[in-house]
Amino acid sequence: MIMLIVDWQTSGDTLVFVRYNDSPTCQSCGIPLTVKHILVECANLRDIREKYFTVSSLADLFNRVDNHSVIGFIKETHFYYQL
């Protein structure tokens, strides 16, 4: 996706085209980085995930796992600081 930025300065008008990715990908897996991927699917995060919980779906996670465990996992994987 391309975003158009118009920069009005005293020296004149400047048009800047900025390319950005609105769907980030997992650096390990190369697939879209989603909440489900981080919390349930990513093989690279499996060892950390298993220290806090073992689930097969987001529904399972939110129905069975204590919130403190989820937050602990998110902090240890450093996604907490990117929110």
pTM of this structure: 0.69
25 φ/ψ sector (left φ>0, alpha ψ -120 to 50, else beta):
beta
Q: Does residue 76 form part of some domain?
A: yes
Q: Does residue 41 form part of some domain?
A: yes
Q: What is the pLDDT of residues 54-65, one digit of tens each?
A: 999 999 999 999
Q: For residue 30, is pLDDT > 60?
A: yes
Q: Does residue 46 form part of some domain?
A: yes
Q: Does residue 18 form part of some domain?
A: no
Q: How many domains does the chain have?
A: 1
Q: For residue 25, is pLDDT > 50?
A: yes
Q: What's the confidence (pLDDT) of residue 65?
A: 96
Q: Does residue 17 form part of some domain?
A: no
In DSSP terms, 13 is beta-bridged to 8
Note down the domain range covering 29. 24-82
